[in-house]
Amino acid sequence: MTEFGDVMFADVDREGWATAVGHSLVEAARIWVEAVPSSLITEECWLADDLSLLFTYQLDGAALGGRFADLHLCPLTGFPLYWVQRGVSYSASGYATDIFNGVPVAVGVPEIKWTGPDGRRWWGAVPEQGWSAVVTGPRSVSIR
């Protein structure tokens, strides 16, 4: 992957981790699109102020967005990452691959949680402050 993919959870703060996972998610999507013929078009990826990761894309012409929160938790078990592999740190590329595998690119649209004013349909972790505040609010880091 990229230099961001080499970032290890144990070596950075939460914003650094979320940023590295975001860059690695964009890279995982790029690799998937090159390997698997599909109608997936990635658009944007950014960190919201609450350090959730937002990822927008098109699939079969539908404008979609996913929100990934709690990036300090293992996407497979839900346990804190420092519990998952004691003595072995989780890499950003490994984490991004795990969450990208949850992006419904081959099986259709997931359960829609909110539709934005632009018609984009969002799925994923529902933000405490509401979808509009996170999707249209300030960005901590723009990744793509």
The predicted-structure confidence for 83-108, as pLDDT tens digits, reads as follows 555 545 678 888 888 888 777 665 56
Residue 127 has pLDDT above 60, yes or no: yes
Place of tokens 């699109």: 33
pTM value is 0.83
Confidence of residue 1 (pLDDT cuts 50, 70, 90): very low
Q: What is the tens place of the pLDDT at every residue in 60-81? A: 888 999 999 988 887 777 777 7
Residue 138 has pLDDT above 70, yes or no: yes
